[in-house]
Amino acid sequence: MSSLLEIAVNLSANKLTQQIPDYKRFLFYDIKKSESKIIGIYGARGVGKTTLMIQLLRDLNLPLRETIYISCDHPVFSGVSLFDFLEEFSKKGGKIAFVDEVHKAPEFQAHLKSTYDFLDIKVIFSGSSVVQMANPDFTRRFSMYRLPALSLREFIELELNISLKNYLLEEIIKNHQDVALEIIRELNKEKILKLFGDYLEYGVYPFYLEDKKKFKDRLSDSINATLYTDLAELYNIHPEKIVTLKKLLTTIAVSEPLELSVENIASVTGISKATLYKYIDYLSRAELIMYIQNEAKRFKSIRKPDKLYLANTNLLNALCLNAKKGTMRETFFASMLRYRHSLYYSNKVDFLINEKYLFKVGGKNKDFSQVKNNRNSYLAIDDIEMGFERKIPLWLFGFLY
């Protein structure tokens, strides 16, 4: 184990010399302030978990012997006991360990628990959203943070190298004209609708910065890695079934959300309903899709179809050559709201937010005819910079985090 630690220290030092973005996502500051002994970061592939960990490590300014970065998917850690390694690191004066891709370590949950109980070190780890890393048994001892995909606000900060505020949903609903004006002034001569269009196409994953022209290829590789590596390994799915999972993704991409009843998908894909429910759960855990329940399911178990969407608009563009405008709008709205808000769909409108606010999502000609008597009903309207009364610009919901 001592020789492995020596190798790991050298690998960690090499990692610290690599170039990473200076831009720090909002979780950086939350985790930096946390005094928890063990902190977990989970999220989809490509959202920036590794970059966040290296930024946190560099910010510590501790001697190399007191900190270490390891990635459990590196060949040198194959079959290694995570607890034994961390124990050896602790004995040699280690204080903080950053453990990337922790789900690749055998029985990692038991090893982290033992580390918490018996070792005097701090651990910050990352793992795939595919793993049940937020289950109650796991989170009682640890502080867990989900790193979502980039918001529109973060994308604009990256693109323009400026700092912008995020806003509470209630602020946007009540004061959307003032909020929109404040943001547009900050953008100076840049056009918000142009930036919004760029975000929908390629701005969700930070790796777009490396090569915008190759972004779709890189995203396609990420989708395949999630399917053929993460899901296949964790759930022992046969390669032939992975092809079916990809077919399911494509079906969701080219369909209207409410066309996607389980019966319809089962018919189109040739998957049994029981298997389909299981696959939908897998894809949801991997943050490749999101499913929105009907509001009626809050109160009783009734047979209402769920709305199925791809998890974000970049996935929609990658899997569908001509994505429907309405689906694109709803996908953006749902992806921005679901990080911090409860989200249902309603028979009257597109979405019910926080069991209070009703929203229709659409273009300039959308009106209140379906919900004209409800004070808590609003329109999220595309292709407008500024709203009026209960008509709110769709892009503004990209500033919730």
Give me the pLDDT at residue 140, please.
74
Q: Which two tokens stand for residue 370?
A: 């379906």
pLDDT at 2: 77
Q: Does position 308 have pLDDT exceeding 60, yes or no?
A: yes
In 115-140, which positions are buried (b, 16+ CB within 10 angstroms) versus exposed (e)? beeebebbbbbbbbbbbebeeeebee
Q: Is 134 a residue whose pLDDT tops 60?
A: no
Percent of the chain clearing pLDDT 70 (strictly above): 94
Interval 10-27 mean pLDDT: 94
* CA separation for the pair 131, 176 (Å, rounded): 38
Q: What is the mean pLDDT of residues 370-397?
A: 91
Tell me, what's the pLDDT at 260? 67
Q: Report, as an integer, the average pLDDT of 259-281.
A: 80
What is the average pLDDT across 227-240? 89
Q: Which residue has the higher pLDDT, 335 or 296?
A: 335
Is the CB of residue 234 less than 8 Å from the CB of residue 224?
A: no
Q: Which amino acid is at 116?
A: Y
pTM for the full predicted model? 0.91
Question: Is 260 strand, coil or helix?
Answer: coil
Q: What is the pLDDT of residues 34-78, one digit of tens each?
A: 999 999 999 999 999 999 999 999 999 899 899 999 999 999 999
Q: Which helix (H) or strand (E) holds 377?
A: strand 377-381
Tokens standing for residue 234: 């964790």
